[in-house]
Structure 1
Amino acid sequence: MNERDFIAMLRPLAGPGALNLNDDAALLSAPVGHDLVLSVDTMVEGVHFPKGRIGGDFSERLLRTALSDLAAKGARPIGYMLAVAWPSGRYDKWAAAFISGLHDAQRSFDCPLLGGDTTATKGPLVASANVYGVVPTGEMVTRSGAKTGDHVWYTGVLGRAETGLKVVMGDPDVRLLSGEDRLACEEAYLRPEPRFLFRKTLRQVATACADISDGLYSEAGHIAEASGVHLAMDYIRHADFGDDYELLLTAPPSAEAAIRSGADAIGLPVTRCGHVVPGEGISIDGEPVQGKGYRHTF
């Protein structure tokens, strides 16, 4: 298989702006009254995903995690571009499975392929998804808007992705879980759910938001730094493990009913987990801490 073969396999995934993947560019414009929101995520085999599992699970997880950044901005996805450094000598069946995973993910979120780049490598698989979304003009939710007096919330259930990684790796610690629980945790790790269904509520009430990719306390630290405030957090289990891809948000106390109503309407659990005060950094149960989370080192 060569580069042209791979592009031909990708062509059925292409959206209108991709120009049938015949040009080294795509054509894209935001609808009138909307801003364009862009983000990028990269995954490396053996770092973000177990070695040797480079098929549909890898690609679906790649696109879903990238799209989670758009969900945290209150945006709606409209397309993505893909860059892949494909390991030499891997069988064509892996490429077919990789593309099948992309197909499943982009169909779930109406987010077609717009273009990208491919190359070969002697190392592990490296893939990047550049995602594009739109949000009504001026309504994007940033990390920098948290205000003193706000409450802090997170969506969903933390810890499932942590257990899901153990399931994927065959860790014996998970043998006591029921089959249903193992499946739910594996799905949380392999196929995280970007919280797009919550975006209208998010845009209406949130003063700041980040997706929980590197751990809840780590993301709390990002919001605190960007907003110039202190986040006084409760103790939360699994808060230092990333990969949950839930939302951490701040909102005024008056927004509690709207948050709970918006979450209930889509069956999404929400938990109030702290409040915003003057100062900087974060604390847990009153003790100042560093939100460690996951950090790549170079």
Structure 2
Amino acid sequence: MNERDFIALLRPLAGPGALNLDDDAAILSPPPEHDLVLSKDTMVEGVHFPAGRIGGGFSERLLRVALSDLAAKGARPIGYMLSVAWPRGREPHWPSGFVRGLHDAQSSFDCPLIGGDTTATHGPLVATATVFGVVPSGEMVRRSGANVGDDVWFTGRLGLAEAGLALVTGRPTALSAADQLAAEEAYLRPEPRFSFRKTLRLYASACADISDGLISEAGHISSASQVKIDLARTHTIGAEFGDDYELLFTASPDHRNLLQAAAKVIGLPITRCGSVKVGSGVSVDAEPIEPSGYRHKF
């Protein structure tokens, strides 16, 4: 398979702005009175996903992970660009599976392909998704808005992705059959929390998606907002692996009931896990802790 063959596989995924993938650029116009929000994620075979599994699981996870950043901003996705360095000499069925995974993910979130680039490599698969979203002008939720006295919350259930990776790589877990299925889904198909975006825009003062672990993301909000994030130890146990792609956000205590009611309507569990204090850094039950989490080493 060559580059043109792969582009032909991708062409059915293209949205109107992609110009049928026949041009060297795409056209994208945000709706009136909206801001354009952009983010990018890269996945490397053997680093972000088990080596040798470069089909639909790889690509679906790539796009979902990238879209999670838009969800944390309160944005709605409108398209993405894809760059792929495809390994030479792999079986020809892998690219078809890769495209099917993209199809499944973009169909779930109405987020068409609008362009990108392809090349070959003698190394592992490297793929990058650049995602585009829109948000009403001035309403993007940043990491920098946390206020002293705010509550700290997270969505969903933390720690499942770590168990999911164990299952995908054939390692044993102590989970029930039902939890094993949920864990595998959490790792392979993380759910960007777009259904919560309007609530975030209404009530959240700051937000980050939990990609590198709860304490690590709390550190990002702490640094950007110049406050201390104090977490309850109960909620930090088993939550430092990362890859959960849930949302960590802060909000005024005045909005507790409204947040819980809005989350209940869409069936999304949310957990109050701490509070915002005067100071800097992250503490657990008032004891300072160094924000940890996954860090790439160069």
What TM-score do the two structures reach when normalised by structure 1?
0.98
In the alignment, which residue of structure 2 is the partner of 1:183? 181
The 5-angstrom pairing of residues 276-287 of structure 1 reads 276-287=276-287
The 5-angstrom pairing of residues 54-93 of structure 1 reads 54-93=54-93
What is the distance in 1 between the residues matched to 2:243 and 2:274?
A: 21
Secondary structure, aligned partner of 1:207: strand
What is the distance in 2 between the residues matched to 1:69 and 1:128?
A: 14
| CA deviation vs aligned residue, 1:115-149 (integer Å, no higher than 9, x gap) | 00000000000000000000000000000000111
What is the distance in 2 between the residues matched to 1:256 and 1:263?
A: 11
Q: CA deviation at 1:207?
A: 0.4
| CA deviation vs aligned residue, 1:215-264 (integer Å, no higher than 9, x gap) | 01000000000000001111122221110000000001111111101110
Q: CA deviation at 1:160?
A: 0.7
Residue identity matched to 1:153: W
- The question of 1:143 aligning with 2:143 is answered yes
Q: CA deviation at 1:178?
A: 2.9
What is the distance in 1 between the residues matched to 2:166 and 2:239?
A: 17
What is the distance in 2 between the residues matched to 1:244 and 1:8?
A: 33
Secondary structure, aligned partner of 1:248: strand
The 5-angstrom pairing of residues 16-165 of structure 1 reads 16-165=16-165
In the alignment, which residue of structure 2 is the partner of 1:5? 5
Whether the aligned pair in 2 keeps the contact of 1:64 and 1:191 (CA below 8 Å) is yes
What is the distance in 1 between the residues matched to 2:178 and 2:156?
A: 18
- The question of 1:242 aligning with 2:242 is answered yes
2:227 to 226, 229, 247: 229
Residue identity matched to 1:118: T
Residues matched between the structures, number: 296
Whether the aligned pair in 2 keeps the contact of 1:167 and 1:186 (CA below 8 Å) is yes
Whether the aligned pair in 2 keeps the contact of 1:210 and 1:219 (CA below 8 Å) is yes
Secondary structure, aligned partner of 2:104: helix
- The question of 1:196 aligning with 2:191 is answered no
What is the distance in 1 between the residues matched to 2:238 and 2:124?
A: 29
What is the distance in 2 between the residues matched to 1:239 and 1:184?
A: 16
Whether the aligned pair in 2 keeps the contact of 1:240 and 1:291 (CA below 8 Å) is no
| CA deviation vs aligned residue, 1:183-224 (integer Å, no higher than 9, x gap) | 111000000000000000000000000000000100000000
Q: Which runs of 4+ in 1 moved over 3 A?
A: none
Whether the aligned pair in 2 keeps the contact of 1:79 and 1:113 (CA below 8 Å) is yes
Percent sequence identity is 70
What is the distance in 2 between the residues matched to 1:262 and 1:63?
A: 26
In the alignment, which residue of structure 2 is the partner of 1:213? 211
What is the distance in 1 between the residues matched to 2:176 and 2:281?
A: 39
Q: CA deviation at 1:64?
A: 0.2
Q: CA deviation at 1:270?
A: 0.5
Cα RMSD after superposing both structures: 0.7
| CA deviation vs aligned residue, 1:19-60 (integer Å, no higher than 9, x gap) | 000011110010001000000000000000000000000000
What is the distance in 2 between the residues matched to 1:118 and 1:150?
A: 45
Residue identity matched to 2:188: L
What is the distance in 1 between the residues matched to 2:63 and 2:263?
A: 24
What is the distance in 2 between the residues matched to 1:148 and 1:179?
A: 42
| CA deviation vs aligned residue, 1:126-180 (integer Å, no higher than 9, x gap) | 00000000000000000000011101000000111010000001002x2x43322
Q: Which runs of 5+ in 1 are unaligned?
A: none
Q: Which runs of 5+ in 2 are unaligned?
A: none
In the alignment, which residue of structure 2 is the partner of 1:270? 270
In the alignment, which residue of structure 1 is the partner of 2:288? 288
What is the distance in 2 between the residues matched to 1:286 and 1:164?
A: 31
